[in-house]
């Protein structure tokens, strides 16, 4: 159905929500000549979920900056640029750590995994109050109009546009409305869908606190790896995962007054829900001696809770209306999910909205791909969250499943780096093909390797067998490691199939081994990606044709 634009509309696109997704999308649209209005229900600064960048996230920021001619967005891809240009309040992310805990027992050092981030960017812990405000100012500099403390109570589709009615009774018209604000919004109600919630009982309790000790003072990091506090450390236990990320950690020492992000994800199974505040967080940590020691002097500055994070809207697209990111789907913030999903959706939605504005057609057909993509993201996130909690009970299964996740982030980064190189080389059509998957139900905006999708689905199924009691943690982990040893998509840059190889660092020996593997044993699709990327991680290779 074609939905033409009403020339009398106040704006071409109204974006509801001024967090990282809404503000970045607004900046991109305004930079490319679209008349944009950004509406925020409250004011900045404020605290939002999602603070961690991964290499795949940073490549997407570079892609958005290059493709849509907003070079400032690329600052988010580089930790030094974030500190210089945006905010000095954040932190760096040099390592991605996992420490397994058993109730009543001190942490055992050999029940740890440490993935040292081989990033050419330098990854970040973003201090979201500053970053979101900076992105909003960027949108204004590129021509967007911004209005804060405006709550939209009704969205009324009309010929050629949408009429928004605010809580104050004001009416605003736009040719298209994109809602990034949250579930159950006026736009969601106008679209007429429902909210489907996952069968689990996952809860997410978050805080910013001071006085959190570096975990190295409690349990040393693995040999050859950076200190735990130089990255995000996930404390894993039966029924939950506690992610700890220190801000102000770029130097050699960490001040005890440094702010720390604390995010506790719980299955809720067998554990009664508390008040969602600091006291409830502490009640869980006290069960584990090493965590109790790390948090003995911690004090909260702010806390917030998401009691039902796993959900998605059944309808996210209609004529002239689109639900995006937090308005379309929830999800646990585990494993750096929030910012990666946000960046994928901005990259994809910007192309569709700019095409619609150019053609004067914001019909539902423009947004069906985004609806399928977001449904795929929600489905994948549900299974991944369930697998995380199934694996949390015993270290061997976590040890195996974590490597499959790591491999996926590596392959995603390689794919996105290749797309960026194609784009910078002027090969626009090839880049666009690489960055728009033919199967959005996989939950990724870009092409993914079929071999990896099969491996991941099989691994998640193994975790489901453990969760249902049909297999033990040891049986599932043994099978996963056996398969990893056979996989032609797992490079010897790390001992993916070796349970005792607990820390991943990019050494020269491993690089040379990987070069030989690429020439002789790698699957063709991986060979193309690694050669394009360059074994040093700096993109020194050429671009191979598909």
pLDDT for the residue 539: 44
H or E segment to which residue 36 belongs:
strand 36-40
Length reported for the chain: 546
Contacts of 281 (CB under 8 A, 6+ apart): 205, 207, 262, 264, 303
**Both tokens assigned to 222:** 């693995």
pLDDT for the residue 532: 62
**Both tokens assigned to 37:** 């209005």
pLDDT for the residue 254: 76
DSSP, residue by residue, 496-524: TT-TT--EE---HHHHHHHHHHHHHTS-H
Q: Are 206 and 193 in contact (CB under 8 A)?
A: no
Q: Give dist(CA 223, CA 226) in Å, integer.
A: 8
Q: Give dist(CA 11, CA 361) in Å, integer.
A: 14
Q: Give dist(CA 448, CA 436) in Å, integer.
A: 10
Q: Give dist(CA 423, CA 426) in Å, integer.
A: 5
Q: Residue 486: is it exposed, middle or buried by C-beta count within 10 angstroms (0-12/13-18/19+)? A: exposed
Mind listing the pLDDT tens digit of every residue in the chain (546 residues)?
Answer: 455 555 567 899 999 999 999 999 999 999 999 999 999 988 766 677 789 999 999 999 999 999 999 999 999 999 999 999 999 999 998 889 999 999 999 999 999 999 887 667 889 999 999 999 999 999 999 999 999 999 999 999 998 899 999 999 999 999 999 999 988 899 999 999 898 887 666 789 999 999 999 999 999 887 878 899 999 999 999 999 999 999 989 877 777 778 999 999 998 665 566 677 899 999 999 999 999 999 999 999 999 988 888 899 999 999 999 999 999 998 778 888 899 999 999 999 999 999 999 999 999 999 999 999 999 999 999 899 889 989 999 999 999 999 999 999 999 999 999 899 989 888 888 888 778 877 888 899 988 899 999 999 999 999 999 999 999 999 999 999 999 999 999 998 889 999 999 988 777 788 888 888 988 899 998 888 877 655 444 444 444 555
pLDDT for the residue 342: 96
pLDDT for the residue 542: 47
| DSSP code for 442 | G
* Domains annotated on the chain, with CATH: 11-90+126-198+310-385 (3.50.50.60), 201-306 (3.30.9.100), 394-437+448-533 (no CATH)
DSSP 3-state of 262: strand
Q: Give dist(CA 180, CA 40) in Å, integer.
A: 10
Helix, strand, coil shares, percent, the chain, to 5: 45, 20, 40
Q: How far is CA 39 from CA 189, 516, 542, in A?
A: 18, 54, 44
Q: Give dist(CA 540, CA 277) in Å, integer.
A: 48
Q: Give dist(CA 263, CA 77) in Å, integer.
A: 23
pLDDT for the residue 201: 61
pLDDT for the residue 540: 45
DSSP, residue by residue, 91-154: EEE-EEEEEE--TTSPPPTTSEEEEE---SS-EEE--HHHHHHHHHHHHHHTT-EEEES--EEE
pLDDT for the residue 8: 60
Strands 171-179 and 161-166: antiparallel
pLDDT for the residue 529: 83
In 316-367, alpha helices (H): 337-359
């Amino acid at each position: 159905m074609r939905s033409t634009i009403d020339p009398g509309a106040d704006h071409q696109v109204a974006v509801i929500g001024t967090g990282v997704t809404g503000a970045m999308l607004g900046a991109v649209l305004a930079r490319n000549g679209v008349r944009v209005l950004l509406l925020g229900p409250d004011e900045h600064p404020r605290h939002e979920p999602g603070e961690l960048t991964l290499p795949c996230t940073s490549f997407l920021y570079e892609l958005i900056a290059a493709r849509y001619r907003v070079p400032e967005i690329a600052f988010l891809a580089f930790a030094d640029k974030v500190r210089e240009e945006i905010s000095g309040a954040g932190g760096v992310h040099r390592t991605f750590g996992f420490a397994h805990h058993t109730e009543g027992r001190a942490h055992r050092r050999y029940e740890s995994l440490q993935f040292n981030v081989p990033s050419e960017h330098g990854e970040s812990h973003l201090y979201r109050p500053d970053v979101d405000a900076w992105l909003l100012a960027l949108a204004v500099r590129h021509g967007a109009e911004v209005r804060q403390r405006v709550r939209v109570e009704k969205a009324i589709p009309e010929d050629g546009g949408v009429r928004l009615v605010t809580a104050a009774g004001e009416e605003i018209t736009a040719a298209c409305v994109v809602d990034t604000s949250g579930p159950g919004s006026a736009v969601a109600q106008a679209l007429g869908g429902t909210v489907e919630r996952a069968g689990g009982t996952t809860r997410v309790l978050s805080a910013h606190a001071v006085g959190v000790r570096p975990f190295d003072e409690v349990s040393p990091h693995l040999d050859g790896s950076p200190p735990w506090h130089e990255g995000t450390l996930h404390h894993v236990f039966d029924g939950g995962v506690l992610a700890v990320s220190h801000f102000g950690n770029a130097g050699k020492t960490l001040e005890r007054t440094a702010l720390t992000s604390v995010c506790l994800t719980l299955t809720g199974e067998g554990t009664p829900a508390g008040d969602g505040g600091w006291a409830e967080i502490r009640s869980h940590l006290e069960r584990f001696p090493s965590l109790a020691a790390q948090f003995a002097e911690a004090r909260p500055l702010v806390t917030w809770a998401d009691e039902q994070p796993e959900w998605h809207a059944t309808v996210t697209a209609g004529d002239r209306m689109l639900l995006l990111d937090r308005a379309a789907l929830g999800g646990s913030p585990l494993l750096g999910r929030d910012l990666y999903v946000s960046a994928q959706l901005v990259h994809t939605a910007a192309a569709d909205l700019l095409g619609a504005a150019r053609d004067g057609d914001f019909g539902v057909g423009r947004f069906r791909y985004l609806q399928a993509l977001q449904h795929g993201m929600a489905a994948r996130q549900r299974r991944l969250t369930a697998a995380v909690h199934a694996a949390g009970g015993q270290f061997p299964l976590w040890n195996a499943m974590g490597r499959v996740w790591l491999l996926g982030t590596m392959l995603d980064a390689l794919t996105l780096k290749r797309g960026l190189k194609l784009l910078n080389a002027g090969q626009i059509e090839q880049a666009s093909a690489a960055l728009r998957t033919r199967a959005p139900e996989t939950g990724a905006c870009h092409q993914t390797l079929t071999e990896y999708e099969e491996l991941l689905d099989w691994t998640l199924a193994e975790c489901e067998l453990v969760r249902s009691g049909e297999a033990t943690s040891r049986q599932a982990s043994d099978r996963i490691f056996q398969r990893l040893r056979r996989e032609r998509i797992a490079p010897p840059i790390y001992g993916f199939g070796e349970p005792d190889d607990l820390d991943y660092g990019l050494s020269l020996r491993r690089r040379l081994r990987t070069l030989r593997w690429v020439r002789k044993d790698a699957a063709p699709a991986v060979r193309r990606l690694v050669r394009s990327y360059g074994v040093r991680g700096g993109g020194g290779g050429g671009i191979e044709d598909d």
